[in-house]
Amino acid sequence: MLTVGDELTPIEINEVLAEDVLEWSSILNDPNPIHLDPKASAANGLGNRTVNQGPANLGAIINLIVSNFPDGMIEVIDVKFVGNVFSGDSLRASGRITDVNRDRDCSRIRCAVELRAGNRIALTGQVEIRLPGQPQSYRCSDE
Amino acid sequence: MIGGCRVVFSRPLKVEETYEVQAELLSLERKIGKRTGVMDLLKFNVILVETGGEVACTITYTWVLPRGKSNADGR
């Protein structure tokens, strides 16, 4: 039974590839050179690797939620981007259940989430998920 | 650079649905960071509206706009 305090199954990404950062720039129509050219990163005091896009970092968190709650619907994502992810970094998206509530026709789960690039925290926040029905495999916060 | 975002899905986004995108500025606040110097924090909403007028999704962004080294008066 899932309950408050339980850890989500994390997602690990071995390496952020520079070519993937380039592709994200194309998809997002984001011309910021820190995503395209390591020299631009260096010129902005960000080291000698390209910077992964914030929405791509958020994507890792969304994948974390979708893989842990395949029947769920994300209702709220509230995150802060507290550090950069660079090409070559390994990533680990993790989370913990902080609240479970049953409504009349659904359950709502809140999770604290975090994305780490190596040992650095890149993103922190909260996600609220709506689950259809009232699955008995979740223990509510007030039970 | 993006500093944070809050995404509220009022209803599922659908393939083939047409959405009107609205935006509104919420605040612009000057701050002085220890490492980044003078910066402006811009907060704004991006709202996706279905053709029937129902709001499907509201995204509240906070963007950090570095303005260079700090002056004594914060300008």
Nearest one of A2, A82, A90, A78 to A49, comparing CA atoms: A90
| Chain B residues inside the 8 Å CB shell of A40 | none
| Chain B residues inside the 8 Å CB shell of A76 | 6-9
Chain A: residue nearest B10 by CA? A75
With a pLDDT cut of 90, the percent of chain B lying above it is: 72
Out of A73, A76, A81, whose CB is closest to B4? A81
| Chain B residues inside the 8 Å CB shell of A50 | none
Residue-wise DSSP of B23-62: EEEEEEEEEEETTTEEEEEEEEEEEEEETTS-EEEEEEEE
Tens digits of pLDDT across chain A (143 residues) = 678 999 999 999 999 999 999 999 999 999 899 999 999 998 888 899 999 999 999 999 999 999 999 999 999 999 999 999 999 999 999 999 999 988 777 889 999 999 999 999 999 999 999 998 766 666 666 66
Which residue ranges form the domains of chain B, and what is each CATH number?
A: 2-66 (3.10.129.10)
**Are residues B5 and A74, on separate chains, in Cβ contact within 8 Å?**
no
CATH annotation of A11-132: 3.10.129.10
